[in-house]
Amino acid sequence: MQTTLIYNPQAGLRAHSSPAVILAALRQAGYDPVYSPTSTENELDHALANVEGLVVVAGGDGSIRAVTIRLLGKDIKIAPLPMGTANNIARMLGLTGNPLDIIAGLSNPVERKLDIGRMLTPEGPAYFLEAMGVGIFADVLKRYRPKSGKSIPRSIQTILETLKDYQPKFIHINLDGQDLSGSYLLLEVMNTPTVGLRFMLAPDAIPDDGLFDLVLIHANQRENYLQYMTGVLMGNLDHFPNVSVQRGRHLEIAWRGFPLHLDAKVVTGMDWTDEDFEAQDMDTTTPLDVAGPFIQVELEKQAVNFLLPRDFLEQADK
């Protein structure tokens, strides 16, 4: 099978396996690989322009997302090699071993299709694999700047600094025709159980059923926000009274200039107007009774095709 290797030189575990070692392992597993060097995300456009067959992504969650959104709609499989810091996507797929062991397992592969999140805006669609959200996590990411280097201690310190004077946001929300507008500390649309540095926000999320898990932390000035963030870090939000999780297919949010994130990418500074919104043919059956513009979120069911080692997938399913 024609195979293209995409290798992130900035990945957290880049010293684990070099491109030459990975190429040799792929040949031994029965593939015919070529290496397309890239040093920035923008160079992926050229590297992936004419690929066929299989794309092997050696890197972290950001690398997998960047490759995936460029291959949407194409009959191309993606094989992740976890070499990042969090590796949320690879862990969800059961890929927790050595990259060379994963490659060896590709001699007996199996396909698995996953949903991808789509955020529709007046500027067009944007995509996420793990989560999209507004509130404390987006604001923390804006301050944290993942490209400056990732670490759990620095993320905790950033959370503490952000929480000092944090003001919850009033968010106009419509979930499948239900008005959930209110003041929130956090809103996360989860396609996968974890996001960021393995923050377990939606342990029951199923990434191939066409439904997302909407996680909301309702603002309450009587509560200690630090307790909620501790629950986020520990993956234990179940017992907090102001946390709700609902499954949904279509979400609409009125845009008010607040930062939002798509996976680990923070989006700010979009200058939209009501006219921009009205010019778009955006499908909404029960619009919010407020002025636009709007963000709309839904999933494209099983739009991403991963190629995985059969034995790794079987072990993950046990």
Spatial distance between the Cα atoms of 2 and 299, rounded to a whole number of angstroms:
29
Q: Does residue 272 have a pLDDT over 70?
A: no
Integer angstrom CA distances of residue 149 from 85, 116, 158, 197: 10, 26, 13, 12
The domain limits of the chain are 2-107, 119-301
pLDDT of residue 282: 43
- pLDDT-derived band of residue 285, with 50, 70 and 90 as boundaries? very low
For residue 29, which of 114, 111, 99, 113 has the smallest C-alpha distance? Answer: 99
Q: What is the pLDDT of residue 107?
A: 95
CATH topology of domain 119-301: Tumour Suppressor Smad4 (2.60.200)
Judge whether residue 31 has pLDDT over 50. yes
Q: What is the mean pLDDT of residues 82-106?
A: 90
SS3 161: helix
What is the pLDDT averaged over residues 279-298?
64
Between these two residues, 21 and 198, which has the higher pLDDT value?
21
What are the tens digits of pLDDT across the range 61-82?
A: 999 999 999 999 999 999 999 9
Containing 56, the helix (H) or strand (E) segment is strand 54-59
Please say whether the dihedral angle defined by the alpha carbons of residues 283, 287, 293 and 297, taken in this order, is positive or negative: negative
Fold entry, domain 2-107 = Rossmann fold (3.40.50)
Fill in the amino acid letter for 303. Answer: A
Give the pair of three-digit tokens for residue 95.
Answer: 């890929």
Integer Cα distance of 164 and 43 in angstroms: 39
199-257 residue pLDDT tens: 888 889 999 999 999 999 888 754 566 666 666 666 666 667 788 899 999 999 988 78
